[in-house]
Amino acid sequence: MLKISKDIYWTGYIDWDLKVFHGYKTPFGSTYNAYLIDDECPTLIDTVKYYGRDDMLRQIKEIMNPADIRYVVANHAEMDHSGAIDDIMRLAPDAEIVCPARGAEALTRHFKKNWRFKVVKTGDRLSIGKRELMFIQIPMVHWPESMATYSVTDHILFPNDAFGQHYASEERFVDELPLDRILEEAAKYYANIVLLYGPQVQKALHALKDFTIDMICPSHGLIWRDRPQIDHIMNSYDRWSSHETDPTRVLIVYDTMWKSTETMALRLKALFEEAGHLVVVRNLQEHHISDVMTDVLRSRLMLVGTPMLNNHMLPTVASFLMYLKGLQPQNRLALIFGSYGWSKAGFKEVEQFVADAGFTLGAEGQYIQFVPGEDDLQKLNMVVDQLKAQMPSV
């Protein structure tokens, strides 16, 4: 139990052992943040994943009898946040669950219980004693029923998944750790969880623009309380959700069979570096797709390389492109390249995947039979020139 502000406590669970979160690699674990407000009507904001229930309840009991909880705010029905709601409702049977109508439907579908719901919508306010809470629906950040809760009295925002990071640590505040470290995890979180929902994030930011926010308490990772850091993460969300990229940054992502595709990747790297671009190279044998997504988030241009295996791209590349297609980055250029033995027909499939993922193919794909010779590699100069012409000069 940790007091984060007057009468407000962190009662969450630190998941040191989490290594994968539905396909997203989390080498640094995560946290599920619940917050207890000790006011005249004690209010719990969100709960934790089911296996963190004992930790959450122990901390609540250090502050009050759980039976005294009057409201349980369910900002999001996904089970990393609702997983212990059944336990708290058993201990506090008179409590009302505060959530939007879709939240009530989702929680009922999940738990099959006849709980009492206080259905709220954007702009509704709830007095819990000395303080007043306000609710802002933020649909699709990250599910349709998602909501942010704002303490009007404390100027604290509880936005659930938004502004979170999968990062387990002893510290609870961003300003207690190196900022770059947390921003990296916040970017990875955005790229893998939120990227698809840019327009909805823009709406949420618009809805919050006139709020005074002295603290952002997300449902994962560390709390933002330093003014420049709050501005930084909100501005980052604005840029990311507008699909702004570093216009000079190039991502090369590939897999290789007999190093022909790798040879092409390295020549492309050298050509873009000679032109002054920042180039990031990710071999999918070494880099997880959820890490590569952070590079996608930042890069204006992505070059995707694969050899042909049985007339298709390599499975690592297919996995990456399927994942990418679900996340739909916009306003980005791409080029497909690779090597083949006797048929290059399968590259059409790769091009289609990348186009369907939201990219504009900036030049004709570059496909070389068997092993590239210097004459083949020289041909890459022209395509690099074509792509450079579509990017700002560096």
Amino acid letter, residue 127: S
295 lines the binding site for ligand FEO (CB under 6 A):
no
Least Å distance between CB 192 and ligand FEO?
11
B/e letters for 72-94, b = 16+ CB within 10 Å, e = fewer, are bbbbbbbbbbbbbbbbbbeebee
The catalytic residue among 80, 96, 145, 255 is: 80
Asked if residue 142 binds ligand FEO (CB under 6 A), the reply is yes
Q: How many other C-beta atoms are found inside a 10 Å radius of the C-beta of residue 284?
A: 21
* Segment near ligand FEO (CB under 6 A); pick from 2-10, 78-86, 90-98, 232-240: 78-86
**In this structure, which amino acid lies at residue 210?**
D
**Least distance from ligand FEO to the Cβ atom of residue 119, Å:** 20
Annotation says 78 is catalytic: yes
Can you give the length of the chain in residues? Answer: 394
Does 76 qualify as catalytic in the annotation?
yes
**Is 68 among the catalytic positions?**
no
Collect all residues with Cβ–Cβ distance below 8 Å to 50 and sequence separation of at least 6.
79, 83, 84
Output the smallest distance, CB 287 to ligand FEO, in A: 24
Least CB distance from residue 96 to ligand FEO, whole Å?
22
CB of 16 to ligand FEO, least distance (A): 17
The site map against ligand FEO for 219-258 (x = CB under 6 A) is: xx--------------------------------------
Q: What is the nearest approach in angstroms of ligand FEO to the Cβ of residue 21?
A: 8
Residues 58 to 77 in contact with ligand FEO, rule: CB under 6 A: 76
Regarding 161 and contact with ligand FEO (CB under 6 A), the answer is yes
Q: Which of 39, 78, 96, 255 binds ligand FEO (CB under 6 A)?
A: 78
185 belongs to the binding site for ligand FEO (CB under 6 A) = no
Among 80, 154, 255, 295, the residue binding ligand FEO under the rule CB under 6 A is 80
Q: Which is nearer to ligand FEO, 76 or 172 (CB)?
A: 76
Minimum CB separation of residue 204 from ligand FEO in Å reads: 14
> What is the b/e burial string over 253-272, where b = at least 16 CB atoms within 10 angstroms of the residue's CB?
bbbbeeebbbbbbebbbebb
81 is an active site residue: no
Options 15, 39, 142, 150, the catalytic residue: 142
Q: What is the DSSP string of 79-99?
A: HHHHTTHHHHHHH-TT-EEEE
8 A C-beta contact, residue 240 and residue 284: no
Describe the crossing of helices 179-189 and 227-241 by its angle, rounded to 10 degrees: 30
Instruction: Give every CB contact of residue 166 below 8 A, 6+ residues apart in sequence.
Output: 18, 21, 24, 26, 28, 29, 30, 185, 188, 189, 220, 221
CB-nearer residue toward ligand FEO: 76 or 277? 76
- Tell the residue number behind the tokens 């579509």, with chain if given: 390
Compute the CA torsion angle 79, 82, 88, 92 (nearest 10 deg): -140
Residue 273's CB is within 10 A of a number of other CB atoms, namely 12
Choice between 220 and 282, CB closer to ligand FEO: 220
Judged by beta carbon, residue 26 or residue 260, the one nearer ligand FEO is 26
Cβ-closest residue to ligand FEO?
A: 78
Q: Is 211 left (phi over 0), alpha (psi -120 to 50) or beta?
A: beta
Q: Which residues, 6+ apart, have CB-to-CB distance to 179 below 8 Å?
A: 229, 232
Q: Is 220 a catalytic residue?
A: yes
Which entry of 161, 255, 262, 295 is annotated as an active-site residue? 161
Q: Tell me which of 49, 81, 277, 388 binds ligand FEO, using CB under 6 A.
A: 81
Strand partners, 5: 8
Complex with ligand FEO: residue 143 or 347, whichever CB lies closer: 143
* Positions in the binding site for ligand FEO (CB under 6 A): 76, 78, 80-81, 142-143, 161, 219-220
**Mind telling me the catalytic residues?**
22, 76, 78, 80, 142, 161, 189, 220
